[in-house]
Each structure stands twice: as structure tokens, then as C-alpha cells.
């Protein structure tokens, strides 16, 4: 699918503000893909579609998580997590995207996963550092993203966990597992 068609499909699904965020993620994902040798076209499409399900009703997302036998633990944690796996499902069903690497990058863009692919990391990080983001620590991650992809993903994961902990929120364990996986497999010291 070309960029224009994909953007038109996404625009119908999300708010103007979220669409501007999406364009930022696309820009960052292309830059990261070029820098780290990921498939630029796949990174672009995954970024365009990453928030496709962001505004779906809670009940619809719940029903899809159950019917499609996604991780039932998702239902016990922050519903902000749901749009990622549900988005991958809907992008396949409604937009006809069949590429498993693109669908995985969408599915894991919020939680991460053990064994993140290069494309998963590019989209995860692009969502975190896109130019519209302004949360504390983002500039440090932007700098790291110019040097080492894994180090930057680890920083973003850590910031997210700390952010949630400071707000007394429960943390979906896959994010911890992702952090451990990347830390234990680091080739260069941070
Ligand atoms: N492991 C986790 N456990 C619980 N909530 C999480 C976890 N990871 C992310 N979140 C929540 O999901 C929210 C949305 O994340 P994300 O999809 O990356 O951002 P956005 O939707 O703004 O692009 C985060 O702000 C955070 O509150």
C-alpha cells in the first residue's frame, strides 16, 4: 500500500491531534530505519498505522482481545495497552495489511516484547521520540537514538516504567521482560 492511501485510511480513524503525532512517528521511524538498516517502507507503513485502533470503544477492544485469544492479562492492566495488539488485528482485517513484520511492530509498539525485531524497535522508539513529544527525559533518548538503538529503547522502557511507578500504576509485565531481555543481551555497555 502506498503512503497516501495508508494515511487516508488512518485519518478516518483518529483525531487531528493524534494524526499529527502519527506524522511525527512516521518521520522518526523513517530516520531510524535508514540509520539502523531496517526496511524503510515497512517502518513507514507500521508507523502510519500504529495508532489505528486508538479510538475504538473499550468494549470492542475487549471483545477482540478475547475472541482472538490475545494475552488475557492485557485486560487486567491499563487499557492504553490494548490499542496496540487490537490495532494490528484491525489493520489486517480492515486495511488488508498482511505483512507479519509490520503487524508485529504495531502490536508491540506500546508494551515491547521479548525478542523485539529491528522493525519493532524502530517503531517503538519512533513513537517515544517523535518531534511532538515533550516529556521529561525525551531529549536524552533522542540523543542516544543517534548512537545506539538498543540503548535508546532501554532508556525509553525505563522511563515508561518509572513514569508508571511514580503514579502508583500497575505495570504490564511484558515491558519488564522486554527491558530484561534487552539488558541481558547488550553487546556494548551503556
Ligand atoms: N507496561 C505498561 N503497563 C501499563 N501501562 C503501560 C505500559 N506501557 C505503556 N503503558 C501506558 O500506555 C500509554 C500509551 O502508550 P503508547 O501507546 O506508547 O503512547 P501513545 O498512545 O501516546 O502513542 C503510556 O502512556 C502508559 O500510560
Can you tell me the ipTM of this complex? Answer: 0.89
User: Which residues, in sequence order, are CB contacts of 35 under 8 Å at separation 6+?
Assistant: 146, 149
Q: Cα separation of 3 and 12, whole Å?
A: 15
In the predicted model, is pLDDT for residue 12 greater than 90? yes
Q: What percent of the chain has pLDDT over 90?
A: 96
Reported as a single tens digit per residue, the pLDDT across 91-123 is 999 999 999 999 999 999 999 999 999 999 999
Q: Cα separation of 168 and 42, whole Å?
A: 36
67 in a structural domain: yes
50 in a structural domain: yes
The pocket around ligand 1, CB under 6 angstroms, is made up of 51, 77-78, 80-81, 110-111, 127, 160, 164, 171-172, 175
Range of the domain at 102: 3-184
Q: Cα separation of 74 and 171, whole Å?
A: 10
Question: Best substitution site from 75, 164, 173 to test ligand 1's pocket, by max atoms within 8 Å of Cβ?
Answer: 164
Question: Best substitution site from 78, 124, 180 to test ligand 1's pocket, by max atoms within 8 Å of Cβ?
Answer: 78
Q: What was the pLDDT predicted at 11?
A: 98
189 in a structural domain: no
Q: What was the pLDDT predicted at 151?
A: 98
- Segment 127-145 shows an average pLDDT of 96
Query: What's the total number of domains in the chain?
Result: 1
Q: Cα separation of 44 and 18, whole Å?
A: 16
Q: What's the CA-to-centroid distance between 81 and ligand 1, angstroms?
A: 6
- Segment 14-36 shows an average pLDDT of 98
In the predicted model, is pLDDT for residue 169 greater than 80? yes
128 in a structural domain: yes
Q: What is the pTM of this model?
A: 0.95
pLDDT classification of 133: cutoffs 50, 70, 90:
very high
Is residue 82 a contact partner of residue 66, using CB atoms and an 8 Å limit? no
77 in a structural domain: yes
Among candidates 27, 81, 96, which has minimal Cα distance to 51? 81
- Strand, helix or coil for residue 142: helix
What cell was used for 72? 488475557
- CATH classification at residue 132: 1.10.3210.10
Q: What was the pLDDT predicted at 187?
A: 80
What is the overall mean pLDDT for the chain? Answer: 97
- Segment 16-29 shows an average pLDDT of 98
40 in a structural domain: yes
Amino acid at each position: 500500500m502506498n503512503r497516501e492511501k495508508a494515511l487516508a485510511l488512518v485519518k478516518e480513524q483518529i483525531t487531528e491531534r493524534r494524526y499529527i503525532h502519527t506524522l511525527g512517528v512516521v518521520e522518526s521511524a523513517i530516520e531510524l530505519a535508514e540509520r539502523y538498516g531496517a526496511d524503510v517502507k515497512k517502518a513507514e507503513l507500521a508507523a502510519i498505522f500504529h495508532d489505528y485502533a486508538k479510538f475504538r470503544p473499550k468494549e470492542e477492544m475487549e471483545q477482540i482481545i478475547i475472541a482472538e485469544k490475545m494475552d488475557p492479562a492485557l485486560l487486567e492492566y491499563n487499557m492504553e495497552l490494548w490499542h496496540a495488539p487490537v490495532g494490528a488485528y484491525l489493520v489486517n482485517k480492515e486495511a488488508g495489511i498482511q505483512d507479519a513484520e509490520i503487524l508485529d511492530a504495531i502490536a508491540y509498539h506500546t508494551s515491547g516484547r521479548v525478542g523485539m525485531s529491528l522493525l519493532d524497535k524502530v517503531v517503538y522508539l519512533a513513537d517515544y521520540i517523535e518531534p511532538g513529544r515533550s516529556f521529561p527525559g525525551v531529549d536524552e533518548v533522542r540523543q542516544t537514538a543517534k548512537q545506539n538503538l538498543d540503548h535508546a529503547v532501554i532508556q525509553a522502557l525505563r522511563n515508561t516504567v518509572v513514569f508508571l511507578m511514580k503514579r502508583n500504576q500497575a505495570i504490564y509485565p511484558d515491558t519488564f521482560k522486554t527491558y530484561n531481555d534487552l539488558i541481558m543481551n547488550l553487546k556494548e555497555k551503556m
